[in-house]
């Protein structure tokens, strides 16, 4: 199972528009301890919050991003208050952007999401480069990388 997660997380940390492997470490990822969550229908938000509780991340602030916020840069979205957009369905592609949690916490979260059968998502970690990107730009880059990886498989 660890090898599968290793493969899953190998390309989610964007650095200067390239991808870098996330490793097993207690080192905190870049940015404030927060989640940007896209593409969650209102009914699925509480289910994801339950998953966060299961892995000890229930106290991490969450921003539920809607399609009308897609042109905002990540740093601006991260300034929004905790639970902004809660109970509002999002039609954006399912995307989870994490900041400030440890690499081990990220790997644990991804493992539980996979075991729980959660809908596939694009995963990214905030970086000094990506925090200046519009959300839609990040989603497009992640989707292109996912497609390229699928074509190689």
Per domain, the residue ranges of the chain are: 2-12+29-152
Residues 6 or more apart whose Cβ sits within 8 Å of residue 30: 99, 100, 125, 126, 127, 128, 131
| Structure token pair of residue 96 | 């989870």
The reported pLDDT for the residue numbered 18 is 53
The reported pLDDT for the residue numbered 87 is 96
Q: Give how far Cα 25 sits from Cα of 9, 10, 14, 28, 76, Å.
A: 13, 14, 17, 8, 28
The reported pLDDT for the residue numbered 7 is 40
pLDDT 10s per residue in the chain (153 long)? Answer: 443 444 444 334 444 555 566 778 899 999 999 999 999 999 999 999 999 999 999 999 999 999 999 999 999 999 999 999 999 999 999 999 999 999 999 999 999 999 999 999 999 999 999 999 999 999 999 999 888 888 887
The reported pLDDT for the residue numbered 19 is 55
In the DSSP assignment, the letter for residue 134 is B
The reported pLDDT for the residue numbered 103 is 94
Give the span between the Cα atoms of 2 and 15, in whole angstroms. Answer: 24
The reported pLDDT for the residue numbered 2 is 44
């Amino acid at each position: 199972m660890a090898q599968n997660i290793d493969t899953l997380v190998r390309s989610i940390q964007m650095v200067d528009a390239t991808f870098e492997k996330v490793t097993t470490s207690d080192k905190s990822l870049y940015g404030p301890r927060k989640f940007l969550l896209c593409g969650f229908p209102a009914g699925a938000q509480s289910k994801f919050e339950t998953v966060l509780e299961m892995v000890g991340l229930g106290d991490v602030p969450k921003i539920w991003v809607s399609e009308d916020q897609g042109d905002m840069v990540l740093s601006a979205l991260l300034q929004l208050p905790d639970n902004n957009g809660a109970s509002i369905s999002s039609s954006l592609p399912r995307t989870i952007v994490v900041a400030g949690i440890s690499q081990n916490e990220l790997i644990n979260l991804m493992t539980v999401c996979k075991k729980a059968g959660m809908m596939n998502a694009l995963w990214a970690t905030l970086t000094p480069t990506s925090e200046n990107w519009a959300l839609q730009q990040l989603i497009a880059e992640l989707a292109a990388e996912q497609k390229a990886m699928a074509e190689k498989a």
